[in-house]
Structure 1
Amino acid sequence: MRGQSGTSVRGRGKRWAWVGLAALVGLSLGPVAAQPQPATKDKEADLDKRVEAAVERGLEWLKRTQARDGSWSAQGGQYRVAMTALAGMAFLMEGSNLKEGKYSDQLQKAMEWFLSPARLQANGLIGDAAGGNFGSYMHGHGYALMFLACLYGEEEDPEQRARLERAIKKAVDFTCKAQTSKRHRKPEGKEVEVGGWGYVSATERNNFDEGSVTVTQLQALRAARNAGIAVPKEAIDKAVAYLEACTTPKGGIIYSYANSGGVAMAGQERPPLTCAAVTCGFSAGQYNSELAKKWIKFCKDHIPIAQGRQAHDEYQSYYFAQMVYILGDDRYGQLFPNEPKENWLTWSKYKKAVFPYLLEQQSNDGSWTSGYIGPVFTTSVNLAILQLEKGILPLYQR
């Protein structure tokens, strides 16, 4: 059921289920910035209209390119699990669900594709042997779990909910069993258990971990928890400790704890992974405000806004946009009160710089084609960024 704003009443009721960045850094959801002047309002209204038209063209392109079986794929028919999940998220962010909305048919087809025995394995893995997942299966599994959890959170039909619930619970169980486990000694001498995720499950006697898979699993678990699915606290605690162990003195996160020998050295930081860590947040009750401030400051200092192509551009933009949206226009200043206001990292500044840039990059057919993974990925990511302000899904709400 939806209110007049289009926001799911069910989704609004679940916002307590996962505390966002404001709780992470001990902030209240305080007042927004002062209202803009009329001339600024006119410019913002014009940009919003252009964004709305671009989003519609992008969604229609995704609709046209959905395969008959309900999936999407990247270049060469690859990465179908991840691409189908991310494309599905774009439709959910528009406001459609399985029962109603302009793109309910596309969501229904995508759900059926995921719940097919060819994708939903007996052990809970959501995989696709025919499509590939970046040379692994954990990336795709994480994105699929995120999508199904968000789909479940917006669904009210008892039969559909039961089907989705069974699949999500098994997928959560698989994710938790796939987590690595290592002992890490903190600088003050305390030893803790840390656990990330790698390209394949740790049950395959592979204790490799890396940041991009880890943040994908964390956001998926967050989506499941938002939807009311139980997520073991131990898995979150280990992941929180893992991200902290991977943070260098400069505040950035390194690629892999396993590859680093357990030492996060300055100079090895990855800005995309750092902003992804902020976006994913922590499980309830596991906060470290100083750590969050390090991450945010590192991202502000190392991620330029709308200045052309960069390494891992779409991946970085996907998470960085979510991070800045959560900050809004005031919270950076609350975190760093000694910084001049003109230096704050704010959503208004980001939107003003990035949205026109994204609109300029859109092709006539509605897609975005930059990047090496393919237009489905780039289009889905850009549609997610352009639709953050709708606030439809709890996963992306402030």
Structure 2
Amino acid sequence: MADLFDAGGGHGSQPLAAALRPRSLDDVIGQKALTAEGSILRRRIAAGQLGSIVLYGPPGIGKTSIARATGEMLSKEFRQLHATRAGVKDIRQLADEARIRPLLIFVDEVHRFSATQADDLLAICEDGTADFIGATTQNPYTALPKALVSRSTILKLEPISIEDMEEVLDRGLRQLAQAGIEVVLSAEQKRVIAGRSGGDARRALTTLESLAIGHTGGAAKVTDAMLEEAYRAAPVNHDRSGDQHYDVISAFIKSMRGGDPDAVLYWLARLIHGGEDPRFIARRIMIQASEDVGLADNTALQTAVAAAQAVEMVGLPEVQIILAHAALHVARAPKSGSANHGIAAALAAVAKEPPMAVPLHLRDAHYQGAAELGHEGYRSPHKDPRGWVDQPYAPEGAPGRFYVSDARQSPTFEKRADEYWERLTGKPVPKRFG
């Protein structure tokens, strides 16, 4: 397959990424599960019944290219709309055109569609007037109108692997050579471009193009200095309002919970480099200090709170050290979820069950007539040499329901507290383990 792509009349007339758009699913690099023989998309194309499809994934991984290739394979004219610029009038004009000739309607950033726009488009698709493909970088189950989700097949695309990205670059180099531009690029430099693309083929090709253009007198020999210049201010793919935000912060939280310091530092670096607000990161660390460490190490919360306060006084780049300090404390500390599980269980009981009565001896007795109501009998632990009095505090039916110790073998605060109270009361502390 010597000529896989349509150069569109020569490289000089269009960007390299546009010149390398695939003509069929066979030409798509990456997304093998989506484009393989027997896949949903292949079967629908073979049957000539595409219907409504939503392609979901980060930028630059081939959503538009797959949509265009699908249109060519179906022998349908490709009509592209942008959700922020297309009105109901535009959609209805496409419906009129679709009654004359077969169309594939493609909507980029379909998550920006209003419910009214989606309803009008779905009416066209449901009666078979036209086929529809939408593309979104947002989670369709939360960002798209429910009617559109329920009537569409959702297909998720994954970031392109480094190996596939190197193949993208090879095709880009061949395309440039056909346009008379020879680029000399070492295997290591190609690997750097592939890796720094963040799974975004458009970014990789744009970088290659920027390195290639403007040279005179022979081949364009790429140097390490040129690469450094190209990436000096290049951000990592990170959409602070979309899935990248939620996925990376989720990985950061779970790595702290799992006690993996390398993972914690990597995901923290992704958040910082992606431009996340340091105050947001500090808040997440504070939450995890209680949710995941809790009574196992009470100083973790102190460290997290101190870090949040420091963030208000110290800016980047120094604040990254403070955030790393706090995050690593949470990661390296022993873990206990007893505070988190306990309050969740208690809140569930309060929300779903009739209120439990306050024991009479615990009720307010600071008024005349309280004793006549039976509000008496409370004994203060401070008057007992042990510092503890054997009397009920929880309402009837509550003891043992909410607090369950998460202490393991390590001598954490919670472990020491369990042993203390068991010696003092002679009663076992409810334990999650052992």
Task: Output the TM-score relative to the length of structure 2.
Answer: 0.20
Q: Which has the higher contact order (CA 8 A, sep 6+)?
A: 1
TM-score w.r.t. the length of structure 1 is 0.21
Q: Which has the larger radius of gyration?
A: 2
Higher strand share: 2
